[in-house]
Amino acid sequence: MIQSVKLVKESNKIYDIERKRITSPDDLNILARVVLCADEIPHEVFGVFNLNTKNEVIGCSIVSQGALNCAIIHPRETFRTAILNNAASIACFHNHVSGDPYPSPEDREVTKRLAECGKILGIELIDHVIIGEHRFVSLREKGCIK
């Protein structure tokens, strides 16, 4: 488990994202695109930013890499590094290879499930953005997170 924390901290240095603040869906989109290199990935990737009480990034991890149009997402993997980093909250992101960021019913359902799990753990899910080719969608703005 200690290796996981070290790897997360190293990824922050690679992408120069440590202590960047996420205060809006646009902030989350910008940082997620840096991590994803969204135009270069031929499959879905789901990731999470771990945040402190000031919504500054203290960790980042890629939780799942999937097929052309899906990635398997489980709450335990999503919250693992958040717990190890003593995160106050998380912000999730994933790409749609089709370029259309419109959320599928599965996207909405997994977001609601992650928000519920976060409430139980005391680690708030502040947003989940879906990255498309030139656009993104915030699932908080779509009402999936209350």
| Mode of pairing for the β-strands spanning 124-131 and 89-95 | parallel
Q: Which residues contact 49 (CB under 8 A, 6 or more apart)?
A: 17, 22, 28, 31, 32, 57, 59, 60, 90, 91, 92, 93
> What are the tens digits of pLDDT across the range 61-106?
999 987 655 667 889 999 999 999 999 999 999 999 889 999 999 9
| Secondary structure of residue 48 in the 3-state scheme | strand
pLDDT for 139 beyond 80: yes
3-state secondary structure (DSSP) of residue 67: coil
**Would you state the pLDDT for residue 68?**
57
Query: Where along the chain do its domains lie?
Result: 2-138
At 13, the pLDDT band (50, 70, 90 cuts) reads very low
The CATH-assigned architecture of domain 2-138 is 3-Layer(aba) Sandwich (3.40)
* Closest alpha carbon to 109 in 75, 135, 61, 63: 75
Compare 66 and 121 and report the one with higher pLDDT: 121
